[in-house]
Copies of this chain bind each other. A is one copy, B any other.
Amino acid sequence: MATAALAIAPDLITTLHGRPRGHLAVVGIGPGQSAWRTPEASRLIAEADELVGYGLYLDLLGPLAAGKPRADFPLGGEADRCRHALERAGQGARVALVCSGDAGIYAMAALVWELIDTGTVSDAARRAEVVVAPGVSALQAAAARVGAPLGHDFCAISLSDLLTPREDILRRIRAAAEGDFVVAFYNPGSKTRRTLLAEARQTLLQHRPPETPVLLATSLGRPEERLTHRTLATLAVDEVDMLTVVLVGSTQTRRLETGDGPRIYTPRGYARKEPVP
């Protein structure tokens, strides 16, 4: 009984203030195609009164977004986007903040919680109910397209130095190389900033062979999807842009040729309990 009373307390409090408690769903819609969007994500968007997000992601929703007021925000300005969504929820609206991939992986969920935590939104916004919906992230879609390169331990590293000092990024890259992780690089480069991927390649080459499989994946799930197989030796940093995910195999990752194209995979173990005979 006590538990149930506690669970509804926040609603009661806002109701006493005269408004229903607002609701913010931070929703990951997966990469590109609706076939990778979970039913939970679709439901939360369908139930929302209004949508907030980067215009391209909202466009991907098609009929699901039809008729709903939408606040398009450009890339960059993420704090404004999240603050707007939180304040609308604080005013009692039911809001979906739409992210590509997984809402919690290099997307908006962490920034929403940071704004709530650091007190830079109104008290009403802080009282809104916030839920996060996970989704397929780009590294998973890229991996599935070409086999199973994430079949053993892996890490994800963003190469964007807008929010993280270069020294921290370089330390992560060294750790990934020394730990022999399969690595997924997000935000691997832009026209003006290519050096971090070049440095990552050099660091990884000190710990894995030049023929280590590398995949460049762009526009996953969209008609313009592009998958490019390279190796650490042949990876050219000019081939990537900010929308590319770069997967680099570990020392164990293997490539095979099939009638359907090249496939790469990372075996689950080095030693094995049941040897593949």
Residue of B141, B144, B153, B162 touching A155 (CB-CB under 8 A) = B153
Within 8 A of B (CB), among A162-201: 162-165, 168, 171-172, 174-176, 178-181
A157 nearest in chain B by CB position = B153
> Copy number of this protein in the oligomer?
2
A256-B130 Cα distance, complex, nearest whole Å: 13
**A54 an interface residue at 8 Å Cβ cutoff?**
no
Expressed in whole angstroms, the Cα–Cα distance for A182 and B277 within the complex equals 37
Is A50 interfacial (CB 8 A cutoff)? no
Question: Could you tell me how many residues of chain A have their Cβ less than 8 Å away from some Cβ of chain B?
Answer: 89
Q: In the assembled complex, which residues on chain B have CB atoms less than 8 Å from the CB atom of A165?
A: 270-271
In the assembled complex, the Cα of A49 lies from the Cα of B171 at a distance in Å of: 49
CB distance from A96 to the nearest CB of B (A): 14
Interface: A259 (CB within 8 A) = yes
Cβ contact within 8 Å between B181 and A172: yes
- Chief secondary structure at chain A's binding surface: mixed
| Residues in B neighbouring A115, C-beta threshold 8 A | 276
Say yes or no for A263: interface residue by CB 8 A criterion: yes
Known A-B contacts A110-B267, A120-B276; the reply to A134 vs B127 at CB < 8 A is: no
Q: Which residue of B lies closest to A171 (CB)?
A: B179
CA distance A12 to B155 in the complex (A): 40
Which chain A residues (75-104) contact chain B, with CB distance < 8 Å?
A: 77-79, 102-104
> In the complex, are the beta carbons of B158 and A152 less than 8 A apart?
yes
Contact with B along A6-24 (1 / 0, CB 8 A): 0001100100000000000
Question: Considering the chains assembled together, what is the distance between the CA atoms of A29 and B44 in angstroms?
Answer: 19
A144 close to B109 (CB less than 8 A): yes
Indicate if the CB atoms of A152 and B113 lie closer than 8 Å.
no
- Structural contact, B140 and A134, CB atoms closer than 8 A: yes
Query: Which A positions have Cβ atoms within 8 angstroms of B?
Result: 9-10, 13, 30, 34-40, 43, 77-79, 102-106, 109-118, 120, 127, 129-130, 132-137, 140-141, 143-145, 147-158, 162-165, 168, 171-172, 174-176, 178-181, 254, 256, 258-260, 263, 265-274, 276-277
- Can you name 9 extra interface pairs (CB under 8 A) apart from A36-B40, A155-B179, A179-B179? A34-B39, A38-B38, A110-B147, A110-B152, A110-B267, A114-B276, A153-B156, A163-B273, A178-B178
